[in-house]
Amino acid sequence: MAEKRILIVDDEPNTRKGLAKMLEVWSAGRYQILQAENGQEAREIIEKDKIHLLITDIRMPEITGLMLVESLKNAGKDLVVIIISSYSEFKYAQEAIQLGVKNYLLKPLNRQKLIEAVEQALVDEERIERNGVIEKVIDEHLFHIEVKNDQTRLPIKEACQYINEHLNEPLSLRNVSQSVHLNSSYFSFLFKEQMNVTFSEYVTRKRLQAAKKLLMCTDLQIADISAAVGYKTDKYFIKLFKEHEGLTPSKYRKNV
């Protein structure tokens, strides 16, 4: 069964079934096409399954399309949405835009325009999902440190580059300071002064960020990920990961 889902919400059975048939032919099994006859049924489906694109009629009894979109937004479910309507009044389009609706199509629907709107909406959904993944991986503290790194002097910039290129290898204060031709003590002082974080904390944060990417984007075993980011034992890696992230690498992978 296709993992991506498109939900069509319309109280008119013929319109709803016609749209579903149109998208099923276009999809050719790439997407699961779901249907709901009203806003309440749509909410129940969205609570149960992840929906990648919502296509909803604007005029429906009790819960209108715009009310449905607004309630989902208030609940933190910021879906990619296409509104379909028999009404072309500007106030509806204006409200839809304010709610972040991707497209507003008028009935009777033109097949080509519908498919184009759906394809563009799914491209937008992929981009949003990718950005969501990036946000989950990024260490905000590390991000701000590295923004500041743009103003640091050359030896520390070179040290950070060396660390990034050798994360899977032993990284001691001694060998990194030697790579930039500085005394260890002076290098440690300079690093903390310019980066506002100790050398060891920086290395740990870089390794754990790299580990999070591997946990999310690969099927590698925890032991392999541990080795890939420079830890000799997965036991120590798991302990460190839990201290920083609040959960084990396995639970992190499952949750995100």
CATH at residue 206: 1.10.10.60
Query: Which CA distances in Å does 137 have to 82, 104, 133, 187?
Result: 30, 34, 6, 29
Domain boundary (81, 105, 134) is at 134
pLDDT at residue 130 is higher than 90 = no
Q: How many domains does the chain have?
A: 2
Question: CA-CA distance, 163 to 125, in Å (whole number)?
Answer: 35
Calculate the CA dihedral of residues 50, 51, 52, 54 and round it to 10 degrees. -160
Residues 9 and 110 in one domain: yes
Domain end marker among 134, 157, 174:
134
The DSSP secondary-structure symbol of 151 reads G
H-helix segments, 55-153: 65-74, 90-98, 111-137, 140-148
Indicate if 195 and 77 belong to the same structural domain. Answer: no
- Shared domain for 86 and 176, answered yes or no, is no
168 in the same domain as 90: no
Q: What is the pLDDT of residues 71-128, one digit of tens each?
A: 998 888 888 999 998 877 667 777 887 788 888 888 888 999 999 999 999 999 988 8
> Do 249 and 236 contact (CB within 8 A), yes or no?
no
Regarding whether 207 and 120 lie in a shared domain, the answer is no
Range of the domain at 144: 140-255
For 34-86, write each residue's pLDDT tens digit: 999 999 999 999 999 899 999 999 889 889 898 999 999 888 888 899 999 88
31: domain CATH number is 3.40.50.2300
- Please write the tens of the pLDDT for every residue from 174-193: 999 999 999 999 999 999 99
- Do 78 and 105 reside in the same domain of the chain? yes
230: left (phi over 0), alpha (psi -120 to 50) or beta: left
**pTM as predicted:** 0.63
**C-alpha distance from residue 98 to each of 10, 94, 110, 122 (Å):** 21, 6, 25, 20
Confidence of residue 154 (pLDDT cuts 50, 70, 90): confident
* pLDDT, greater one: 224 or 150: 224
Question: Per the structure block, which two tokens stand in for 104?
Answer: 């507003």
